[in-house]
């Protein structure tokens, strides 16, 4: 356990004069009780109150010092999230969209790897980072909830997966101080792209291999083709989008995602294999940290609530001590 502002403990010496005052009060009360031939409080009464005061002040001081535990940084990785129109597919409004399911995978992954730094890159026709690399998982959660949605760019109807992979490789090559430690990218997509995907992906895959980035692809979709639901003014209408009288159906192209993963020396996962994904990411992140990498601070967990609880118990003991011990 560490403290962000350990200087706060410099106020603890005030306990010395405070305890001296309480000790003097104990003697006076004993003398007064003897003078009036009464029975003074038991010594245990004073001991409990003094201990309660010490715990109360020490606990509040610890809260002010901001206690926390920090996980060792185990490397960095990026989420590459598909936000194209196809990620709006679902059978009905009662089900989450493909993008909603992708967000769940991202949240579960972050929860399972609290020691890593991560960031989010979104793509449809274009690809761009929407967060920096950070260990602030609360911030990443807010971005997933409110900043990651279908239609981030105008007419987000295309899935330019090849361009997204090329952008990732270029970011690492051109910005080594920011993305230099990124060796793994978790791709979340239905893989729905048209044309000769092998020809379109060969260049970006070569760029990824040149900068030593592996793609861990997670297929988001259903075994059967899934229709696109119509969304108007932000509300799902349970109506499916049609073109020339036919429903627009979105297939899960696991073959494309597996091709990308295999060609970059990565791995493919289904949505039901999140635990396996977490294990693989953790193992590869730890193994990818070389001696030349600069150590960084990992995810922090605040422990102020522990000391607030101790302070509350101590205050309760101080106030209830007279009634419990039945001062006579």
Rounded to 5°, the CA angle 162-168-172 comes to 145
Residue 281 in this model has a pLDDT that exceeds 80? yes
Domains of the chain: 2-69+300-325 (no CATH), 74-295 (3.40.50.410)
Cα Dmax for the chain: 104
> Measured between alpha carbons, how far is residue 43 from residues 30, 49, 258, 318 in Å?
10, 10, 75, 15
Q: Cβ–Cβ contacts within 10 Å for residue 264, how many?
A: 25
* pLDDT band for position 292 (cuts 50, 70, 90): very low
- The predicted model gives 299-313 an average pLDDT of 83
Residue 297 in this model has a pLDDT that exceeds 60? no
More confident residue, 116 or 298: 116
Query: Token pair of 215, please?
Result: 């793609």
pLDDT tens track for 185-207: 999 999 988 788 899 999 999 99
> Residue 70: what pLDDT?
61
> Measured between alpha carbons, how far is residue 190 from residues 80, 172, 180, 224, 250 in Å?
12, 25, 28, 12, 8
> Residue 232: what pLDDT?
63
Q: Are 184 and 61 in contact (CB under 8 A)?
A: no
What is the rounded end-to-end Cα distance, in angstroms, of the chain?
44
- Nearest Cα to 66, choosing from 11, 139, 8, 14? 8
Query: Token pair of 317, please?
Result: 């003991």
Q: Are 192 and 250 in contact (CB under 8 A)?
A: yes
State the Cα–Cα distance between residues 256 and 19, nearest whole angstrom: 72
What is the DSSP code string of 289-309?
A: --TTSPP-EEEEEE-HHHHHH
pLDDT tens track for 94-132: 899 999 999 999 999 999 888 788 999 999 888 989 998
pLDDT tens track for 63-102: 988 887 765 445 689 999 999 988 988 988 889 999 999 9
Q: Are 264 and 162 in contact (CB under 8 A)?
A: no
pLDDT tens track for 234-257: 677 777 787 777 788 888 999 999
Query: Token pair of 18, please?
Result: 């405070």
> Residue 71: what pLDDT?
52
Give the pairing type, strands 76-82 and 117-123. parallel
Total residues found in the chain within this entry = 328
Query: Token pair of 133, please?
Result: 């690399």
Mean pLDDT of the chain: 84
- The predicted model gives 160-186 an average pLDDT of 91
> Measured between alpha carbons, how far is residue 221 from residues 80, 95, 163, 228 in Å?
16, 12, 21, 12
Backbone angles phi, psi at 195, to 5 degrees: 80, -165
Element (H, E) at 230: strand 229-232
Residue 299 in this model has a pLDDT that exceeds 60? no
State the Cα–Cα distance between residues 83 and 85, nearest whole angstrom: 7
pTM: 0.67
Rounded to 5°, the CA angle 271-275-276 comes to 85
* pLDDT band for position 327 (cuts 50, 70, 90): very low
More confident residue, 186 or 285: 186
Q: Cβ–Cβ contacts within 10 Å for residue 94, how many?
A: 8
State the Cα–Cα distance between residues 92 and 181, nearest whole angstrom: 41
- Nearest Cα to 52, choosing from 313, 327, 324? 313
Is the sign of the CA dihedral 129, 131, 133, 137 positive or negative? negative
- Nearest Cα to 303, choosing from 68, 115, 138? 68
């Amino acid at each position: 356990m560490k403290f962000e502002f350990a200087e706060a403990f410099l106020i603890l010496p005030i306990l010395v004069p405070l305890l001296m005052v309480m000790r003097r009060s104990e003697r006076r009360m004993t003398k007064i009780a003897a003078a009036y031939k009464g029975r003074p409080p038991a010594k245990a009464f004073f001991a409990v109150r003094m201990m309660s005061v010490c715990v109360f002040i020490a606990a509040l001081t610890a809260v002010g010092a901001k206690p926390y535990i920090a996980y060792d940084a185990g490397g960095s990785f990026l989420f590459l999230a598909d936000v194209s129109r196809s990620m709006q597919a679902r059978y009905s409004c009662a089900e989450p969209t493909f993008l909603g399911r992708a967000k769940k995978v991202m949240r579960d992954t972050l929860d399972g790897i609290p020691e890593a730094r991560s960031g989010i890159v979104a793509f449809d026709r274009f690809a761009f980072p929407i967060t920096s690399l950070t260990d602030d998982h609360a911030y990443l959660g807010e971005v997933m909830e409110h900043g990651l949605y279908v239609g981030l760019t105008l007419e987000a109807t295309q899935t330019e997966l090849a361009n997204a992979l090329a952008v990732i490789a270029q970011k690492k090559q051109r910005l080594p101080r920011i993305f230099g430690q990124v060796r793994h990218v978790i791709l979340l997509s239905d893989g729905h792209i048209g044309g000769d995907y092998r020809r379109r992906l060969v260049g970006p895959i070569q760029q990824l291999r040149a900068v030593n980035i592996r793609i861990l692809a997670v297929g988001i979709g259903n075994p059967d083709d899934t229709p696109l639901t119509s969304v108007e003014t932000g509300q799902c209408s349970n109506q499916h989008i049609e073109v020339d009288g036919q429903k627009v159906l979105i297939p899960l192209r696991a073959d494309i995602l597996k091709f990308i993963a295999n060609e970059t020396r990565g791995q493919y996962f289904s949505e039901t294999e999140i635990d396996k994904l977490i294990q693989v990411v953790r193992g590869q992140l730890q193994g990818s940290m070389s001696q030349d990498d600069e150590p960084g601070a990992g995810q922090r967990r605040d422990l102020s609530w522990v000391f607030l609880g101790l302070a509350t118990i101590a205050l309760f003991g101080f106030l209830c001590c007279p009634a419990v011990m039945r001062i006579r």
